[in-house]
């Protein structure tokens, strides 16, 4: 009864209700991977270009500035 019931997945998903435009396909998504330079890419494009974006599955390289961005570090 005193367990920490605070780890609800709802909190994680609800970051911000702001739509983001994918710089790759131009469509609007509630979530996109983003680089510090302003580049945005949606989940679908990331999956489709994964072979060219990441070499280790832990970080992805921004095609705009070449910066390394971590997955799940949004």
CB of 3 to Zn ion, least distance (A): 40
**24 or 53: CB nearest Zn ion:** 24
CB of 15 to Zn ion, least distance (A): 18
Rg (CA), the chain: 15
CB of 38 to Zn ion, least distance (A): 7
Instruction: Give residues in contact with Zn ion (CB under 5 A).
Output: 22, 24-25, 35, 37, 39, 42, 45, 62, 64-65, 67
**CA-CA distance, 42 to 3, in Å (whole number)?**
36
7, exposed or middle or buried, with CB in 10 Å at 0-12, 13-18, 19+? Answer: exposed
């Amino acid at each position: 009864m005193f367990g920490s019931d605070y780890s609800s997945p709802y909190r994680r998903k609800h970051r911000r209700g702001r739509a983001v435009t994918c710089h790759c396909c131009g469509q609007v998504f509630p979530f996109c991977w983003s680089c510090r330079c302003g580049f945005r890419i949606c989940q679908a494009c990331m999956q489709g270009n994964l072979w060219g974006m990441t070499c280790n599955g832990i970080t992805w390289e921004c095609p705009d500035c070449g910066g390394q961005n971590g997955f799940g570090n949004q």
